[in-house]
Amino acid sequence: MTIRIAAYLLVFWLMQVTAQIFFKWGSMSTTRWIWGFLIGNLFGFSSIWLLMLVYKAMNPNIALGIATGGAFLLSQIAIVLAFKSKVAPVQWVGIIAILIGMVALAVGTQAADKASSEKPTTINYSDGAQ
């Protein structure tokens, strides 16, 4: 993963966290509902552009797992801190499991890249038959 892709992911995560904070904030009062919805969607919708850039640079299933997993984890932590939400111990176990899954995806990427570089990617048929 390059520094550029890491920067795309970081900004994507920050925009997703911001969207979730505004969604929660807007849901707390009928007078803030529309503003929370609009501002949350401004950040959430526009962050997808960054996700598409990450898709362009890496395997899409790995990009999706890392991007949305990180956004989910950081959003959970931000909501806990900003709104004093309570998280049960078993929920922390779930959060840690997702983090482990993200690490497994990232490590699996390196292993898959290494394996694919050791195997030929095309078959050359000298007689033109397939």
Containing structural domain, residue 69: 3-115
pLDDT, position 119: 56
Q: Is residue 61 part of a domain?
A: yes
Q: Is residue 50 part of a domain?
A: yes
Q: Is residue 128 part of a domain?
A: no
DSSP 124: -
Q: Are 27 and 66 in contact (CB under 8 A)?
A: no
Contacts for 77 with CB less than 8 Å, ≥ 6 apart: 95
Q: Is residue 26 part of a domain?
A: yes
Closest CA to 43 of 69, 12, 74: 12
Q: Structurally, how many domains does the chain consist of?
A: 1
Higher pLDDT, 109 or 45: 45
CA distance 99 to 91: 13
Contacts for 96 with CB less than 8 Å, ≥ 6 apart: none
pLDDT, position 78: 95
pLDDT, position 1: 75
What is the per-residue pLDDT across 75-130, written as a single tens digit (0 to 9) for each? 999 999 999 999 999 999 999 999 999 999 888 766 655 655 555 555 555 665 55
pLDDT, position 6: 93
Q: Is residue 121 part of a domain?
A: no
pLDDT, position 107: 86
Q: Is residue 126 part of a domain?
A: no
Q: Is residue 39 part of a domain?
A: yes
Q: Is residue 130 part of a domain?
A: no
Kindly state the average pLDDT of the residues 43-67. Answer: 93
Q: Where are the alpha helices (DSSP H) in 28-127?
A: 33-57, 60-83, 89-118
